């Protein structure tokens, strides 16, 4: 049984269906929207209603705010950091730095 039910996304949902490592070029046009985006990163093939990894992102000046499903701010990241974070969380490219970051910053907020 899940701890809590995931409600409505904090921003409009946009999907990115791609295999392999995600580049900033693939993310850039999707996350630069002023009102924010709930990006669902999925594999290139699969059932139409398949799930994926969600990233709730809002452009702020030259950086990006990242939020959880409840709309709580997780952190502010540069485009480079956001790309590395997305790839690590979605299992596309392991990052020791992001592993430590997720264990000490992101996950501790939920415990």
Total number of residues shown for the chain: 111
The per-residue pLDDT for 12 is 94
Domain assignment of residue 75, yes or no: yes
pLDDT at position 2 is: 47
Q: What is the mean pLDDT of residues 78-97?
A: 96
Say if residues 64 and 31 touch (Cβ distance below 8 Å). yes
- The DSSP bridge partners found for residue 55 are 39
Three-class secondary structure of residue 51 per DSSP: coil
At residue 89, the pLDDT reads 95
pLDDT for residue 6: 65
Q: Is residue 26 part of a domain?
A: yes
Give, as one character, the DSSP assignment of residue 65: E
Q: What is the mean pLDDT of the chain?
A: 90
In this model, does residue 51 exceed pLDDT 50? Answer: yes
What pTM did the predictor assign?
0.87
Residue 40, beta-bridge partner list? 15, 54
- Residue 5 pLDDT level (bands cut at 50, 70, 90): low
| Structural domains of the chain, count | 1
Name residues whose C-beta falls within 8 Å of residue 75's C-beta, 6 or more positions apart in sequence. Answer: 65, 66, 105, 106
22 inside domain: yes
SS3 108: helix
Domain of 28 in residue numbering reads as 13-110
24 in any annotated domain: yes
Asked if residue 57 belongs to a domain, the reply is yes
**Inside any domain, residue 58:** yes
């Amino acid at each position: 049984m899940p701890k809590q039910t995931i409600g409505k996304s904090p921003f409009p949902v946009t999907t990115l269906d791609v295999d392999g490592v995600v580049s900033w070029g693939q993310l850039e046009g999707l996350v630069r929207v002023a009102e924010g985006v709930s990006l669902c990163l999925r594999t290139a093939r699969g059932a139409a209603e398949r799930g994926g990894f969600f990233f709730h992102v809002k452009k702020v000046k030259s950086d990006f705010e990242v939020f959880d499903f409840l709309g709580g701010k997780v952190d502010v990241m540069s485009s480079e950091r956001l790309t590395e974070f997305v790839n690590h969380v979605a299992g596309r490219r392991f990052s020791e730095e992001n592993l430590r970051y997720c264990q000490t910053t992101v996950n501790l907020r939920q415990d």
